[in-house]
Chain A
Amino acid sequence: MPLADPRPRWRPLFWLLWGLVLAAVVTTIIRFATGIATIANVNQAYPWGWWVGFDMLTRIALGGVGFTMAAAGEIFDIRGFRHVVRAALLVGLLFYLTYAAVLIVELGRPWMIWWVFLSWAPTSAMYEVALCAVAYTTVLILEFSPLVLAKLGRTVTVRRINAVYMLIVITGISLSSLHQSSLGTLLMLLPTKVNPLWHSELLPVFFLFSAIMAGPAVMLVEHTVATHFLRRQPRMNVLISLGRGLTVLIVLYLALRLGDVLYRGVADQALSFGFEARWFWLEIVIGLLAPLALLLTPDIEQRKWRLCAAGACVVIGVVLNRLNAAVITMKVHSWETYHPAITEVLISVGALAAMVLAYAYLVRWLPIHTEPPLTPGSATAPSPSDGLARVAS
């Protein structure tokens, strides 16, 4: 495996990513030597902060790309989707593994984590998230392992896993529906702290729904960017289907979200344009209205970068939604607000950099993107079925 991108153009980027990972590792060492307070602004009133808002709630939501694409490709067998499931599983797995890495920094006593598996706490959403997330990470590893094992020549093991592959996929989808929604239940227990614009009895539904919505969104970004960097022909038929699916999901989610705000009688707060309302509308406009507008443009099916932008908007919207609910608008009685420390964010950024690096190396090593390479011919003579005409040029 090469240690840096073979193309010299991108080498500085790779060294930057390695630098960020190193900085996060150093910060982690400082945290374990001196305590959380040295590197984080989490405090007695805001004990969660950025790490839970971003690394737990958001990473797991975006990691939902694994189960949504597995469902679309393997269960519903949508045309062409089976070819992108591998990439989706890899991205999902990396999101979950980096979440686990940050969790070790975030937890106060990570060396006691095994107590979760020896406890019985069915009233705790955190307990359910912990068990299901661990189980689902195992599922993701199993789902992804045939690629690695085949590369290592372990064909017997591959055959054994493939014999129960569908059962693994189905179990993964069930586990995901549980812990994705339980992240919403987690915040539902805090009616006095979570702002009414986000606190709803439908929070579990919203969190599951937006995780499903994040699936095609992450996939759109991943596929366009990956095929661009790897100089492959993008699968336009898949991108178009993802865009269509995303359109439907955005419309449904938008209706549900605004309907809920109206039904719970907090619409006047949304229209007040106070601090919370501005973040609420930022989330709605960037995360839902902007991608919807992009996706409804007439020539979207020939514009891969516009599809990618729509996906990116939805991703940003999901990030904003989780941060809004758990960090930005969270208010604790008689305490000032919380702002994350730079080192706190650095841990997350380092984990993201590690994700990008792991991804960049693994896509070169494993047959994840097997699309044919871009050739001068493909630009001038596109096949009529896959709408490559504009994107390749």
Chain B
Amino acid sequence: MAPKAMIQDNTRCIGCRACMVACKSWNDLPGDVSTFFAGPGYQNPRDLDPHNYTVITYKGIEAGPNGRPDWVFGRLMCMHCVEPACVSACPTTALTKSPEGAVVFNSWRCIGCRYCMQACPFVVPKFDFDRVVPAIHKCTFCADRIQVGRDPACAQVCPTGAITFGDRDDMVQEARRRIAAAPGAYVPHIYGLNEVGGTSVLHLSSVPFEQLGYPANLPDKPPPDLTVKVLHFTPKIFTTVWVTMAVVAMIIRRRIRFWVHDEHDDHDDHDEAERAPR
């Protein structure tokens, strides 16, 4: 199956949070007693957590499209990177990238090292710090739904068409088309097209993405590129060090046997009798 992608068109979002409800519903996530907090208005909860795989963010801006103060919405969820840092980081391959593009987590293999949380540039994987038997939790891209040819739950329920799902190539074309068709309504940037090597969620916005609170200035190079090329040398480093040390040891030990009565002999110390038995 071709890699899939999702357009998150924030200009069409009305902040109804149907996607959050659908996500909880499909993934059987428990409800939380939550409270409003100081800061961005009606946003709730504050961030992703083990029970919330997606959150609509609310930001008030001074001047919206009609010159009056306005809301702009953004969405937190797993970006399902094309080259996911979390998958490259996992020491037990509990995280995998499916052919459809979903980054999925298998809690059975997880040892709880939390390197995936560190590796994620979008701070997405969440961990049950307060549970005795914890696990990592994150958006699954509804991999189970995709496999049977259905859209992810959030894309299915969005009432305004802010979430569009399809093949990634088509979605990139569609995102470009929307920006070209209404240049004033969008900032000319597809967030996720090149960020950290490309993601499977492509965000569009009417205001710069920094204002939505998205991580800005992400490198275009996938982070795993930095480490994989180093780790690639592992067998070579091992062999080189091993052989070098063996050769040095042989040369130096031979020298000692030749010059055993020489002044270079190290037996000027006081405890030959007590050396460990060799």
Residues of A within 8 A of B (CB): 32-38, 40, 42-45, 47-48, 71, 74-77, 79-83, 86, 107-110, 112-113, 115-116, 118-128, 130, 146-147, 150, 155, 158-159, 162, 165-166, 169-171, 173-175, 177-178, 181-182, 185-186, 188-193, 201, 204, 233, 235, 237, 332-335, 367, 370-372, 385-386
Query: Which residues in B have their C-beta under 8 angstroms from that of A333?
Result: 123, 215
Interface size range of chain B in the complex: 35 or more
In angstroms, how far is the closest chain A Cβ from the Cβ of B95? 10
For B132, give its contact among A32, A177, A182 (CB under 8 Å): A32
Contacting pair B276 A367 (CB below 8 A): yes
Q: How far is the CA of A334 from the CA of B59 in the complex (A)?
A: 14
For B114, give its contact among A108, A171, A190 (CB under 8 Å): A108
Q: How far is the CA of A44 from the CA of B137 in the complex (A)?
A: 11
Given A177-B237, A189-B118, A192-B218, output 19 extra A-B contacts at Cβ < 8 Å. A44-B48, A75-B245, A107-B113, A108-B128, A112-B112, A115-B92, A116-B111, A119-B93, A127-B91, A128-B234, A165-B278, A171-B242, A182-B231, A185-B227, A189-B227, A192-B215, A370-B271, A372-B271, A386-B268
Contacting pair A44 B126 (CB below 8 A): yes
Contacting pair B277 A146 (CB below 8 A): yes
19 contacts between A and B (CB under 8 A): A35-B128, A35-B130, A44-B123, A44-B126, A44-B127, A44-B129, A47-B114, A48-B114, A83-B269, A83-B275, A108-B135, A123-B87, A123-B89, A123-B227, A124-B115, A170-B242, A174-B237, A182-B231, A189-B89
Contacting pair B230 A188 (CB below 8 A): yes
Q: Is B261 an interface residue (CB 8 A)?
A: no
In angstroms, how far is the closest chain B Cβ from the Cβ of A228? 17
Contacting pair A43 B246 (CB below 8 A): no
Query: Which residues in B have their C-beta under 8 angstroms from that of A182?
Result: 231
For A42, give its contact among B48, B129, B223 (CB under 8 Å): B129
Q: Is B64 an interface residue (CB 8 A)?
A: no
Contacting pair A233 B270 (CB below 8 A): yes
Q: Is B139 an interface residue (CB 8 A)?
A: no
In angstroms, how far is the closest chain A Cβ from the Cβ of B214? 9
In angstroms, how far is the closest chain B Cβ from the Cβ of A101? 16
Interface residues of B in 83-98 (CB under 8 A from A): 85, 87-94
Query: Which residues in A have their C-beta under 8 angstroms from that of B224?
Result: 123, 189
Q: How far is the CA of A108 from the CA of B277 in the complex (A)?
A: 43
Query: Which residues in B have their C-beta under 8 angstroms from that of A108?
Result: 110-114, 127-128, 134-135
Query: Which residues in B have their C-beta under 8 angstroms from that of A174?
Result: 237-238, 241-242, 245
| With A76-B252, A178-B238 as contacts: A35 and B129 at CB distance below 8 Å | yes
Closest 9 CB pairs of A and B: A108-B112, A109-B112, A127-B91, A47-B114, A37-B129, A370-B271, A47-B117, A370-B274, A126-B91
Q: Is B109 an interface residue (CB 8 A)?
A: yes
0/1 per residue, B191-228, Cβ < 8 Å to A?
00000000000000000000001010011000110111
Query: Which residues in B have their C-beta under 8 angstroms from that of A82?
Result: 266
Contacting pair A125 B269 (CB below 8 A): no
Q: How far is the CA of A321 from the CA of B230 in the complex (A)?
A: 21
| With A80-B266, A371-B270 as contacts: A162 and B112 at CB distance below 8 Å | no
Q: How far is the CA of A124 from the CA of B256 in the complex (A)?
A: 43
For B223, give its contact among A34, A189, A233 (CB under 8 Å): A189
Complex: chain B residue closest to A114, CB-CB: B111
For B268, give its contact among A43, A80, A116 (CB under 8 Å): A80
Q: Is B180 an interface residue (CB 8 A)?
A: no
Q: How far is the CA of A76 from the CA of B251 in the complex (A)?
A: 9
Complex: chain A residue closest to B214, CB-CB: A333
Contacting pair B134 A112 (CB below 8 A): no
In angstroms, how far is the closest chain B Cβ from the Cβ of A129? 8
Query: Which residues in A have their C-beta under 8 angstroms from that of B87?
Result: 123
Contacting pair B111 A75 (CB below 8 A): no
Q: Is B121 an interface residue (CB 8 A)?
A: yes
Contacting pair A48 B109 (CB below 8 A): no
Q: How far is the CA of A12 from the CA of B223 in the complex (A)?
A: 51
Q: Is B119 an interface residue (CB 8 A)?
A: yes
Contacting pair A332 B123 (CB below 8 A): yes
In angstroms, how far is the closest chain A Cβ from the Cβ of B180? 30
0/1 per residue, B250-278, Cβ < 8 Å to A?
00110010000000101011110011111
In angstroms, how far is the closest chain B Cβ from the Cβ of A318? 21
Contacting pair A125 B271 (CB below 8 A): no
| With A45-B123, A174-B241 as contacts: A109 and B133 at CB distance below 8 Å | yes
In angstroms, how far is the closest chain A Cβ from the Cβ of B104? 16
Q: How far is the CA of A204 from the CA of B121 in the complex (A)?
A: 21
Query: Which residues in B have their C-beta under 8 angstroms from that of A367?
Result: 274, 276
Contacting pair B249 A191 (CB below 8 A): no
Q: How far is the CA of A178 from the CA of B94 in the complex (A)?
A: 24
Query: Which residues in B have their C-beta under 8 angstroms from that of A48?
Result: 114, 118
Q: Is B47 an interface residue (CB 8 A)?
A: yes
Q: Is B248 an interface residue (CB 8 A)?
A: yes
In angstroms, how far is the closest chain A Cβ from the Cβ of B140? 18
| With A71-B245, A109-B110, A115-B92 as contacts: A35 and B223 at CB distance below 8 Å | no
In angstroms, how far is the closest chain B Cβ from the Cβ of A35? 5
Query: Which residues in B have their C-beta under 8 angstroms from that of A110?
Result: 111-112
Q: Is B49 an interface residue (CB 8 A)?
A: yes
Query: Which residues in B have their C-beta under 8 angstroms from that of A235?
Result: 269
Complex: chain B residue closest to A33, CB-CB: B132
In angstroms, how far is the closest chain A Cβ from the Cβ of B213? 6
Query: Which residues in B have their C-beta under 8 angstroms from that of A193?
Result: 118
In angstroms, how far is the closest chain A Cβ from the Cβ of B119? 5
Query: Which residues in B have their C-beta under 8 angstroms from that of A147?
Result: 276
Query: Which residues in A have their C-beta under 8 angstroms from that of B130?
Result: 34-38
Contacting pair B274 A189 (CB below 8 A): no
